Structure 1
Amino acid sequence: MSKKWDYSDIQNWGPGRHEVGATIPESGTADDYETGGWRTDRPVLDMEKCNHCMICFWGCPDSAITVKDSKLTGFALKHCKGCGICKAVCPRSAIEMSNEKIACELEEK
């Protein structure tokens, strides 16, 4: 006899709240975790080159690309782990990867 799962609170989904393999209302993303603290490189968007095709948005494994009104606005760096997929898939070379340490030092000035 198969076990019946209780999905009555599925809209209150969160990490560790349901059995492994449970159906969830949305995919898990970095919205639940801050993974950006250990990256060595960060993405930098050149707005003059970007045509807002959204290919980088769909390629990002951590939902770290921010969008407003169907246009890219930048990166949620607390979620970005610096994998560079966004740069690799951008057809217009509008994204470059910058050294995290140098970028942080420039921001502090």
Structure 2
Amino acid sequence: MTSTWISPTGDEGIYQIDTGKWRTFRPVINRDRCTNCKLCGYYCPVSSIKLSNQQQVHIDLSYCKGCAICATECPRGAIDMVREGEE
């Protein structure tokens, strides 16, 4: 998967660096609470949150760093941060 980023100067670029192995916690979406408002994706600093083909929010854990910004910004509290290795 490639992700597109926009630098502060407005230049667009593409990166393919698997950075998800660096995290201690990972986000887990509670589908009962999620309204697919996409605010989590808007705030994600590495663009690891996208819409799936079913138009549901999906987190690409290959790029997620576990920063918890998505969980903090979710207005419905639909994202929990779970320690890696736990369910």
Q: Offset of 1:63 from its aligned partner? A: 1.0
Structure 1 residues 22 and 95: CA distance shift in structure 2, 3 A: closer
Aligned length: 80
TM-score w.r.t. the length of structure 1 is 0.63
Higher strand proportion: 2
What amino acid maps onto 1:34 in structure 2? Answer: D
Q: 1:34 aligns with which of 3, 10, 18?
A: 18
TM-score w.r.t. the length of structure 2 is 0.77
Question: Which structure would you say has the larger RCO, counting Cα contacts within 8 Å and 6 or more residues apart?
Answer: 2
| Aligned equivalent of 2:76 | 92
| Aligned equivalent of 2:39 | 55
What amino acid maps onto 1:57 in structure 2? Answer: G
Partners of 1:69 and 1:36 in 2: CA distance: 22
What CA RMSD, in Å, does the superposition of the two structures yield over aligned residues? Answer: 2.4
Higher helix proportion: 1
Bigger Cα Rg: 1
Partners of 1:36 and 1:79 in 2: CA distance: 4
Structure 1: gaps (5+ residues): 1-20, 104-109
State whether residues 28 and 80 of structure 2, in contact with CA within 8 Å, keep that contact through their aligned partners in structure 1. yes
* Percent of pairs with identical residues: 38
Structure 2: gaps (5+ residues): 1-7
